[in-house]
Amino acid sequence: MKKLYFLLPFVLLACKSNTTVGDKSSKEASKPIEITYKVQETEVSDFLKYLSSDELEGRETGTRGIEKAAVFLEDFLKKNNVKPYFKTYRDTLTNFKLPAFNIVGVIEGTDPVLKKEFVVLSAHYDHIGLEKKKQDDVVNNGANDDASGVTAVAQMAKYFTETKSNKRSILVVFFAGEEKGLLGSKSLAQKLKAQDFNLYAQLNIEMIGVPMKRDYLAYITGFDKSNMAEKINQYTGKNTIGFLPKEAEYKLFYRSDNFSFYEAFKKPCQSISTFDFENFEFYHHVSDEFKLMDIPHMTAFIQEFLPAVTKMADTPTEEITMK
Domain spans in the chain, listed from the N-terminal domain onward: 24-312
Phi-psi group of 196: left, alpha or beta (phi > 0 → left; psi -120 to 50 → alpha; rest → beta): left
Q: Report how many helices (DSSP H) and strands (DSSP E) the chain contains, helices first.
A: 9, 9
Instruction: Find the mean pLDDT for residues 54-69.
Output: 98
In contact, 261 and 185? CB cutoff 8 Å: yes
H-type alpha helices, 173-277: 183-194, 228-236, 245-249, 257-265
Q: What is the dihedral of CA 206, 211, 214, 220, to 10 degrees?
A: 10
Q: How far is CA 297 from CA 41, 276, 309, in A?
A: 9, 15, 18
**Residue 11 reports pLDDT greater than 50:** no
Q: Which of 25-39, 100-114, 117-131, 137-151 has the lowest mean pLDDT?
A: 25-39
Res 301 pLDDT > 90: yes
How far apart, in Å, are the Cα atoms of 231 and each of 86, 224, 226?
31, 13, 10
The CATH code that applies to domain 24-312 is 3.40.630.10
Cα–Cα dist 300/282, whole Å: 23
| Residue 5: Cβ-neighbour burial (10 angstroms; 0-12, 13-18, 19+) | exposed
pTM, to two decimals: 0.91
- pLDDT score, position 3: 54
